Amino acid sequence: MRQEVIVIGGGIAGLQCARELHQAGREVLVLERARGVGGRLATRRYEGQPIDFGPMFIHGQNPAFLKAVKGTEGVIFPSAWPRYLQGHGQPCQPNAFEGEEQRAILPAGLNAFAKDLAADLKVQLQTTVTQVTPDAEGFALTTEAGQTFLCRDLVVALALEETLALLATMPVQPELVGIQALLGMFASVPSLTLLAAYPREVPAPEWDILYPDQSASLQLISQDSRKRESPEFITLVIQGRPGWSAQRMALPNEVWAAELLKLAAEQVGAWVNQPLWTSPHRWRYARVDRGNELSRPILTTFDNGLRLGLAGDVFSPGGGVQAAWLSGSALAHRLLNEVRL
């Protein structure tokens, strides 16, 4: 299938890039591996009740980004949220609670922001690109299911390591060597995450997010149900610290999940050990840490005029959802405004 632009990765960076290209009249197709868009801005449901298990909230200060977030139906910028911040541990992004940062939540789940961005876009889900080959006609993409695509402009908007893995499927190109060396100096950190649901009767604490200050294992515990209007269940999302998570990445889910639950019970109370339901999730490339970011997306033009753009949370300062969005936006701007060499 021939396309003008293909975006690999339907996370926030890819969606925003595709959206701006689409709005400028470009014909864009987004290829997404999962069953839904949003990437790490992830929400799932237990008995219909949304649970955010990637970021716990969206935060930022960039006016254009905040405007986009504010456009999502149902979004709330609670003035004093998280309402009770217990512990003195660090949030994943240390700047999340600084001066001009605004924090947003969505009662329908944070993933609704991604769905909103994707609303007018052509997105093909459950499509994993396994091979990229630039030739005279364009970038030829092959998917796991054996489908092929062709495009003149290709945007890769995956987690950093996944982007590198995809670039490695391409034949060696002088244009790519420097970029691969550059990206090779950066890395994402993992986070093992456990979702747990409890009956409403449990003695739920009076805080929204706990950042344990002394724990070498726990990054945070989010009482997700406090983001919902009249929740049926008390729900917790427990996220492990990067170092702790990295050590357990190869273990079976039930091993580290039991460990996370026990650690959370030590912080919150014994009732945490008795969930109605749990669900583990491995964020192998959860986020980039501060100091591990580039200032802008990459756009490189091959000899025959094909253009390869890279966006994602590593391609803008600050990391997180805002950085992903800004990098996608910046890349679209460059694709639309830079003259093809």
Partner 1 sequence: MTTMDSRLQELVERDRSHECQGFGQDHVCVRVVAVAKLPSRFGDFRIVAFWNNRDQKDHIAIVHGDVVGAEDVPVRVHSECLTGDVIGSLRCDCRDQLETALQKIGQMERGVVLYLRQEGRGIGLANKIRAYALQDQGMDTVEANLALGFRDDERDYAIAAHMLQSLGIGSVHLMTNNPAKVQQLEQYGINVSRRLPHLLPPNPHNRFYLETKAQRSGHFIDFTGLPRLQEQSDPVIIEGMPE
In the block, which residue shows the tokens 């799932």?
44
Q: 305 phi and psi, to 5 degrees?
A: 90, -5
Q: Select from 216-224, 226-234, 262-270, 286-294 the region that touches partner 1 (CB under 8 A).
A: 286-294
Give me the 171-210 binding string for partner 1, x by CB under 8 A, dash otherwise: ------xxx-xx--x-------------------------
How far apart (Å, rounded) are the C-alpha atoms in residues 252 and 11? 27
Structure-token pair, residue 222: 């989010």
Asked whether position 295 contacts partner 1 by CB under 8 A, the answer is: yes
Q: Per-residue x/- mask for partner 1, residues 300 to 319, rule CB under 8 A?
A: x--------------x-x--
Q: Which is nearer to partner 1, 296 or 333 (CB)?
A: 296
Q: Is 230 in the site for partner 1 (CB under 8 A)?
A: no
User: Residue 154 is encoded by which pair of tokens?
Assistant: 């290709």
Closest distance of CB 182 from partner 1, Å: 4
The burial of 48, by beta-carbon neighbours within 10 Å (0-12 exposed, 13-18 middle, 19 or more buried), is given as exposed
Tell me the closest approach of the beta carbon of residue 297 to partner 1, in angstroms.
7
- Contact between 94 and partner 1 per CB under 8 A: no
Q: Which stretch binds partner 1 (CB under 8 A): 151-159, 189-197, 203-211, 290-298?
A: 290-298
Residue ranges of E strands in the chain: 2-8, 28-31, 43-46, 49-52, 58-60, 85-86, 102-104, 122-124, 129-134, 139-143, 148-156, 188-199, 209-210, 218-223, 233-240, 277-288, 298-301, 307-310
Q: Which is nearer to partner 1, 295 or 337 (CB)?
A: 295
Check residue 237 for interaction with partner 1 (CB under 8 A). Answer: no
Q: Is residue 78 within the footprint of partner 1 (CB under 8 A)?
A: no
Residue 185 beta carbon to partner 1: minimum distance, rounded to whole angstroms: 5
For the segment 1-40, give every residue that binds partner 1 (CB under 8 A): none
3-state secondary structure of 103: strand
- Number of Cβ within 10 Å of residue 304's Cβ equals 11
Nearer to partner 1, 34 or 179 (CB): 179
Q: Taking CB under 8 A as the rule, does residue 279 contact partner 1?
A: no
- Is 48 a binding residue for partner 1 by CB under 8 A? The answer is no
Residue (80 or 185) nearer to partner 1, CB: 185
Tell me which residues touch partner 1 (CB under 8 A).
177-179, 181-182, 185, 291-300, 315, 317
